Structures are given as C-alpha cells and as structure tokens.
C-alpha cells in the first residue's frame, strides 16, 4: 500500500469522527420519529460524546486494552447501509464516507485505549492562546468553512513510510526481529508552490453579491421561482475544500427556503431541505488534489445533512482533475494535433522533434482546413452518455439503496466502453506535449493523420502510442469538460463560476510543472506567453465554460491587471465582448497569507449597466481595473533601449548557495567561476548603496543540461536540492 492510500484512510477516519461529533451536538442523528429511549441508548452506549467524556479522564488511557476502539467501530457500523442501526431507529448515512471499505485496513486494525483517547482529547479540547485555559470544542457551532484551514494544513505535508529496525531483545541476535514501518509526514511544498490558501469569507461574499445575486434576482421573477432557482448551475474550477461552493449553495438555498415556506426567516429544517436540494442540483466543483475533492464532499455532506437522510451522491458533481489541461468543448478536440506539441523542449532530441513537427505539419496541410467532424458512431456514443446524465438527475436520493442505485447507474455510463473510447481519443493531442522526443521513442507518438482517423471512426485506437497517451492522461489527470459534464456543455455552460484559483508567476510555471506544461498552456490559450500568471489560465478556462448570459467572479493576484497577465486575460476577454461589472483593485488578505489581492466580477452579458469600482459606481471598468476609457498598454520607450533589463530569473531555490559553499566550489575548481556568481537582487539594491550582495547563485545561463554536467560539483548541488 502506498503512503498516500494509507493517509486517505486515516483522513476518512477523521472525517467520520468530525461528522458524527457535529451531528450529535446539533441533535441531527435521529429523525423526528426517533423515540427518547432510542436516543438515550445511543447517547449512553454508542455516541462519540461518550468517548469524548472518557478521553477527559486520563486514568482510563490504558494501552493494554483496546475495547474503546472496538466500541467506536461498532458505532460506525450503525450508520452503514443495511447495518444494525435500524434496530435503534437510525437511518444509514452510507455513501462513500460510511461505506465499510472507506477506512480500508483500519477497520480490521487494533488501537490501544491510550492512543484513541489521546486523539479524541486532542479533537475535543484546546488551550486558549492568551490564558492557556483548557476549553471544550463546541462542535454544534462548527463553521463548515473551517475545513478550509484543514485543507491548507494538508498541503504543507506529504505522507511517507519510514522503515526502522527495533533493538534485539535479550537472547536475540542482530537481524532476528523484523523491521517495522512507521507512518509519518515530510514537509511538503504544494501550498507554497501554487499559493493555495483557504479563502476568508469576507472575500467570498463580494464575489457572490456581484455575480450570483444578479442571477438569483432574475430567477425569482420567473413564474415558478423554486424550479428556476434549482435550474442554476454554479461551479468552482479550483474548489479546494469547497468554501466558495458552500457560500453559493447557502445563498441559493436561503431564497429557495423563503419561496417554499413564504416566510422571511425559514426554519432550520426548511433551510436544510433547501440546501440539500441545491447541492444535489446546482453545485459543481473540480480540483487537481484528490484530498481537496474528498474534503469538499465532506463539507457539502455536513451542510446538507438532514436526520433520516443518507449522504448525497456527489461523485458526478465534485470531481478530481486538472481543470485547465484538457478540452472544454468538443470543438477544441476537433482541431486535431497542433504542431506545437512537437516543439523541442529541454532534453529533447532536436532531430526527432523536427521530424515529428514536419510530419504533423504536412498531415495537417493534406486535410481540408476547418473542424474535424466526429464520426456518427462516436456521436451516438456521446449522445448516449448525455442521455445517461439527464436520466441520472431524475433519480431519488432518500434512502441508502437509492444512493447505491444512483451510483451504479452513474458508473454504468461514465465507465462504459463508449466513455473510455472517447476519453482515450481526446487524450491523444494533449499527451503529445508531455512525451520526451527521442529517436527510440517514435513509436509512442500519434500525429494528426492517425488522430483524425480515430476521431472519424475509421480505425480504433490501439497500440503502444494510444496506450502511452492514456497512461499520461491518468497520471496528469487530464480533464475534458465536454465528457465529464456533458449536460452542462449541452445547455451552453455554467450560469456562474466563482473561485480563488492558484497563483504562480509565469516564469515559475515551467520550474514547478515542467516546460511541456508551459508550452501546452501557451498553445491552447492564445494571446499568452511565458510571462502570464497561472491564475490567468483558470480565468480563461472559466470563460470558455460560461453561458453567454452568465457571470464569473474571482479572487486573484494583483498581477491580473498588470503586464502580460492583463493582456492575456482581462484585456483578451474584454476584446471578446465581456464586461467587468465589479472590481476591487487591492485588498489585504485577511487569512494567514501575507498578500494583497484583487477581486473582480465579469459577465459576457453586453448590456451596458456600468459597474462598481472600489465601492464607487462607474460607467466603465477597464482591464487595468480602473475607469479610464483611454487606458491602453504601455509603449516601449526606444530611448531606454539597453538601459533597463530584467536580469536573471531563477526557477527554483536550489540554485541559491551561501558564501561558504561558493568559496568551496571556487577553490575546488577554477572553472566553476563560470557558473558560480554573486547575485544582486531587490533586497541588495534597497539596502546596500555599494551594491555589495552577500547571496550567491549557481547559474548555468543558456547551457544545456549536458553542458551543465561538466561543472560536476555545481550540478550535483542543484540536482540534489531540486529532486
């Protein structure tokens, strides 16, 4: 078992505990029909509240016994489908979280009372940061958005297995006892590398106010407002733990509950019923991180939970994948394999890349210009999948059996041979960007002519090349929206897309994700180059997925209205007819991250209604996020040619060394002076009038990797740090 899999089981165990702790304290375990006797039996013998109370009595933490662990497993079984809970008047929660296989090998493991009670004590008590007073956690008041801070913490660590050998006991020789495996965490860099942060609610609400609220107001004017509200489709294409989706769901559900009850302040049960229906019908999310996807589902389940109801089926709405690597609409796949897929990347064989480029270019010339029509047989398969999606939406979710039936129906068409074939073909153009171009690798490539034959149904994908493309698609999590959410694309797109996408400076994208990814992004998102921030590609993808009458709103880095990022994103969208209706140019992030961000909302609706800029009504908002109609891109001043330049761009911390390392390298081999240099950066410029820097860098300049290896000691330092 991989450490990531074991970690997932551990997280599900924690999610189960959190879920039960919350619904117990909110009195949502039993349906209204539950008797006082049944409630009392559960509270006294099965509840996690019982175990919490025991955890506060330290003398019970006896490692010789594990009866409390077995008792907790018995509690879990009460909520499984067809479990013993019905004898106690409990409806099963079931679903993925309370499936018997959800916690994997942990279900058959043993855990001492000392460890279990210690964990529950850590979950149930905390010390006040000011006076160190021990305080009991109030799970009834838990804000589900706080799961976002859990997700932010998860990104800082990577699970690992450590092997260690225990000391021999008396009479044992060395090596007679088997080694043990310990689960541990290593420091991770995923959050820092992509600037992924839990989004504070005070930044989310303006997004909703200036996008979703307009759509809700229009729906309330329709003859059947309740039905119209449930017809909204809202997405977050980098959803993280689901905080923004939760806020959107609550906003829609509030209006839905008011419409249904006719009351200005609907009861909690009316709101829970409304938000369950909203989450079931309206909410969609995608994230590259599978941990985020699972945590998002848990947050939505907890928000939508009603006593007596199973957990919603969410697999078809909350998915794992790379939102910006793949095709948004079928028409994109019909353009064939682009020549840029065979560009020479660092480490590629130039002759092989040139051969593939020439072949692909010629094949594209040999075919008529324009879109590549989908074969009738593949079109039928796509129609069948869409029909399956529409049928799925009509299935009920009131019992665990209905949830399982819905899941089975979903898997029947989403994992069918037809779906597999379409995904396999769509993967081919994207995969060509990733494959290393070497003379002994030619059989792994698919050029345009072969791809066209697959798409037109003239031949079936087979052989090493298509297998390689599919393996790459799985590994990199390609996400083709027209296949993953065909019913959304069929209705023209989402009504509203909200988000706080990851930020990453354009020059750092290749360092973090590779040159192939940067080349792919520049190819599929026109008008962009290597200086464009990662956030721009998410916004461009959101625009591709938005209905003509839709709205989208984002929290972004301030670079969104500056330089290449502005040109490739906001300016590009405005030139395509979009209109910015709200902007906040700079606002301090109120969470843990120390940064300033921008907020903006945009619509494809061209009706000139003006906008709100920094809380002031204006007639127009430009791509600079100002209200100047005359705003245009800065011009290059020819007088300053060769007087100002960017300097060296480092693509990772591994190139920096301290003064002692630099001295050792220079003394070891004088030729190392070619690549070991003192660096003057902004800090030096602002603090040292003489520009005497104290930082050193290993810079291979324009040398290839093979040439860099000639500086052996320097290359080894960089390789060891970056690996």
Does residue 229 contact residue 219 with C-beta atoms inside 8 Å? yes
| Most distant pair of Cα atoms in the chain: their distance | 88
Task: State the Cα–Cα distance between residues 705 and 172, nearest whole angstrom.
Answer: 51
Task: State the Cα–Cα distance between residues 22 and 33, nearest whole angstrom.
Answer: 20
Cα Rg, the chain, nearest whole Å: 29
Q: Would you state the pLDDT for residue 232?
A: 98
Q: Which of 243, 217, 241 is nearest to 228 (CA)?
A: 217
Query: Worst-scoring range by mean pLDDT, 273-277, 529-533, 673-677?
Result: 529-533
Task: State the Cα–Cα distance between residues 700 and 704, nearest whole angstrom.
Answer: 8
Q: Would you state the pLDDT for residue 223?
A: 96
Residues 6 or more apart whose Cβ sits within 8 Å of residue 555: 199, 203, 204, 207, 499, 500, 597, 598, 599
Residues 6 or more apart whose Cβ sits within 8 Å of residue 136: 124, 125
Exposed/middle/buried for 188, CB within 10 Å: 0-12, 13-18, 19+? middle
3-state SS assignment for residue 581: strand
Residue 372 token pair: 């590549």
pLDDT above 90 covers a percentage of the chain that reads: 59
For the chain, the average pLDDT equals 88
3-state SS assignment for residue 678: strand
The Cβ of residue 185 has, within 10 Å, a number of other Cβ atoms equal to 13
Q: Would you state the pLDDT for residue 165?
A: 57
Handedness of CA 522, 527, 528, 529 (dihedral sign): positive
Residues 6 or more apart whose Cβ sits within 8 Å of residue 174: 168
Region of residue 543 (left: phi > 0; alpha: psi -120 to 50; beta: else)? alpha
Residues 6 or more apart whose Cβ sits within 8 Å of residue 720: 654
Q: Would you state the pLDDT for residue 195?
A: 46
pLDDT tens digit string along 473-496? 999 999 999 999 999 999 999 999
Rounded to whole angstroms, what are the CA distances from 42 to 89, 301, 346, 574? 10, 22, 63, 59
Q: H-type helices in 315-373, by residue range?
A: 330-333, 350-366
pLDDT tens digit string along 95-132? 889 998 999 999 999 999 999 999 999 999 888 888 88
What mean pLDDT do residues 38-57 have?
94
The Cβ of residue 371 has, within 10 Å, a number of other Cβ atoms equal to 13
Rounded to whole angstroms, what are the CA distances from 657 to 660, 671, 678? 8, 17, 10
Task: State the Cα–Cα distance between residues 471 and 476, nearest whole angstrom.
Answer: 9
The number of helices, as runs of H, and strands, as runs of E, in the chain is 31, 16
Residues 6 or more apart whose Cβ sits within 8 Å of residue 620: 610, 611, 627, 629
Residue 518 — pLDDT band, cuts 50, 70, 90?
very high
Exposed/middle/buried for 647, CB within 10 Å: 0-12, 13-18, 19+? exposed
Element spanning 127, H or E: strand 125-127
Task: State the Cα–Cα distance between residues 327 and 318, nearest whole angstrom.
Answer: 18
What mean pLDDT do residues 336-345 have?
94
Task: State the Cα–Cα distance between residues 213 and 207, nearest whole angstrom.
Answer: 9
Task: State the Cα–Cα distance between residues 7 and 673, nearest whole angstrom.
Answer: 46
Q: Would you state the pLDDT for residue 549?
A: 92
Which of 512 and 538 is assigned the larger pLDDT?
538
Q: Are strands 611-613 and 596-603 parallel, antiparallel or unpaired?
A: unpaired
Task: State the Cα–Cα distance between residues 713 and 717, nearest whole angstrom.
Answer: 6
Torsion of CA 612, 576, 334, 513, to 10 degrees: -60
| Phi, psi of 618, rounded to the nearest 5 degrees | -135, 165
Is residue 669 predicted with pLDDT exceeding 50?
Answer: yes
Task: State the Cα–Cα distance between residues 260 and 388, nearest whole angstrom.
Answer: 30
Instruction: Please provide the DSSP assignment of 30-46 as one string.
Output: S-TT--HHHHHHHHHHT
Q: How far is CA 507 from the centre of its chain?
A: 21
Task: State the Cα–Cα distance between residues 339 and 336, nearest whole angstrom.
Answer: 9
Element spanning 693, H or E: none
Starting from the edge strand earliest in sequence, which strands make up the sheet with 579-588, in order?
318-320, 283-287, 234-236, 494-499, 546-557, 596-603, 579-588, 611-613, 616-618
pLDDT above 70 covers a percentage of the chain that reads: 91
What mean pLDDT do residues 167-185 have?
64
Which of 521 and 720 is assigned the larger pLDDT?
521
Three state DSSP letters for 222-277: CCCHHHHHCCCCEEECCCCCCHHHHHHHHHHHHHHHHHHHCCCCCCHHHHHHHHHH
Q: How far is CA 597 from the centre of its chain?
A: 20
Which of 277 and 528 is assigned the larger pLDDT?
277
Question: 């930082």: which residue's tokens?
Answer: 695
Global pTM reads: 0.87
Is residue 574 predicted with pLDDT exceeding 50?
Answer: yes
Does residue 546 contact residue 552 with C-beta atoms inside 8 Å? yes
Residue 309 token pair: 């109801």
Does residue 330 contact residue 482 with C-beta atoms inside 8 Å? yes
Residues 6 or more apart whose Cβ sits within 8 Å of residue 269: 306
pLDDT tens digit string along 226-259? 999 999 999 999 998 899 999 999 999 999 999 9
Q: Which of 574, 570, 596 is nearest to 585 (CA)?
A: 596
| Phi, psi of 182, rounded to the nearest 5 degrees | -115, 135
Q: Would you state the pLDDT for residue 194?
A: 46
Rounded to whole angstroms, what are the CA distances from 413 to 98, 420, 492, 589? 24, 10, 22, 43
């Amino acid at each position: 078992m991989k450490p990531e899999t074991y970690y997932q089981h551990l997280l599900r165990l924690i999610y189960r505990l959190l879920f039960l702790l919350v619904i117990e304290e909110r009195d949502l375990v039993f349906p209204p029909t539950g008797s006082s006797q049944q409630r009392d039996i559960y509270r006294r013998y099965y509840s996690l509240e019982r175990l919490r109370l025991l955890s506060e009595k330290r003398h019970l933490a006896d490692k010789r016994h594990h009866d409390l662990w077995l008792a907790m497993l018995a509690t879990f079984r009460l909520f499984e489908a067809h479990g013993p809970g019905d004898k106690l008047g409990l409806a099963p929660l079931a679903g993925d979280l309370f499936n018997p296989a959800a916690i994997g090998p942990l279900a058959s493991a043993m855990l001492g009372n000392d460890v279990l009670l210690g964990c529950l004590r850590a979950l149930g008590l905390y010390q006040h940061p000011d006076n160190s007073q021990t305080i009991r956690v109030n799970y009834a008041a838990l804000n589900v958005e706080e799961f976002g801070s859990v997700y932010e913490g998860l990104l800082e660590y990577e699970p690992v297995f450590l092997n260690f050998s225990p000391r021999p006991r008396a009479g044992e020789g060395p090596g007679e006892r088997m080694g043990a495996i310990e689960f541990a965490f290593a420091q991770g860099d995923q959050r820092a590398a992509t600037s992924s942060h839990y989004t504070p609610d005070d930044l989310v609400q303006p997004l909703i106010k200036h996008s979703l609220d307009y759509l809700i107001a229009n729906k309330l004017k329709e003859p059947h407002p309740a039905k119209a509200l449930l017809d909204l489709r809202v997405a977050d294409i980098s959803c993280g733990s689901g905080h923004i989706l939760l806020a959107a769901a609550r906003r829609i559900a509030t209006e839905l509950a008011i419409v249904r009850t006719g009351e200005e302040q609907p009861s909690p049960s009316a709101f829970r019923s409304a938000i369950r229906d909203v989450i079931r019908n309206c909410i969609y999310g995608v994230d590259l991180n599978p941990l985020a996807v699972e945590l998002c589902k848990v947050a939505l389940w907890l928000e939508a939970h009603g006593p007596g109801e199973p957990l919603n089926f969410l697999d078809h709405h909350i998915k794992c994948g790379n939102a910006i690597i793949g095709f948004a609409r079928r028409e994109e796949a019909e353009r064939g394999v682009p020549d840029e897929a065979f560009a020479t990347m660092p480490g590629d064989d130039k002759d092989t890349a040139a051969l593939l480029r020439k072949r692909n270019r010629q094949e594209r010339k040999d075919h008529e210009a324009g879109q590549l029509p989908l074969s009738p047989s593949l079109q039928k398969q796509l129609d069948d999948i869409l029909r399956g999606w529409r049928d799925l939406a009509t299935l009920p979710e009131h019992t665990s059996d209905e949830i399982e039936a819905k899941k089975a129906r979903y898997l029947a068409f989403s994992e069918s041979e037809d779906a597999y074939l379409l995904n396999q073909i769509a993967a081919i153009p994207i995969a060509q960007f990733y494959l290393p171009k070497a003379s002994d690798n030619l059989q792994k490539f698919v050029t345009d002519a072969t791809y066209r034959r697959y798409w037109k149904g003239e031949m079936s994908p087979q052989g090493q090349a298509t297998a390689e493309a599919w393996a790459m698609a799985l590994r990199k999590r390609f996400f083709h929206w027209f296949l993953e959410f065909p019913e959304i694309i069929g209705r023209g797109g989402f009504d509203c897309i909200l988000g706080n996408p990851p930020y990453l400076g354009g020059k750092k994208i290749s360092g973090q994700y590779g040159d192939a990814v940067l080349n792919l992004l520049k190819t599929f998102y026109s008008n962009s180059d290597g200086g464009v921030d990662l956030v721009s590609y998410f916004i461009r993808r959101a625009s591709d997925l938005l209905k003509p009458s839709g709205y989208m709103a984002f929290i972004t880095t301030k670079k969104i209205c500056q330089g290449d990022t502005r040109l490739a994103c906001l300016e590009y969208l405005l030139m395509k007819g979009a209109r910015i209706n709200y902007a906040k140019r700079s606002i301090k992030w109120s969470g843990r991250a120390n940064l300033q961000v921008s907020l903006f909302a945009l619509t494809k609706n061209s009706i000139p209604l003006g906008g709100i800029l920094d809380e002031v009504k204006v007639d127009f908002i430009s791509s600079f996020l100002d209200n100047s109609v005359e705003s245009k891109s800065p011009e290059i001043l020819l007088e300053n040619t060769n007087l100002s330049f960017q300097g060296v761009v480092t693509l990772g911390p591994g190139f920096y060394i301290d003064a002692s390392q630099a001295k050792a390298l220079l003394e070891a081999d004088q030729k190392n002076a070619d690549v070991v240099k003192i660096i003057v950066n902004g800090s030096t410029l602002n603090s040292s009038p003489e520009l005497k820097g104290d930082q050193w860098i290993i810079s291979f300049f324009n040398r290839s990797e093979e040439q860099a290896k000639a500086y052996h000691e320097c290359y080894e330092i960089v390789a060891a740090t970056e690996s």
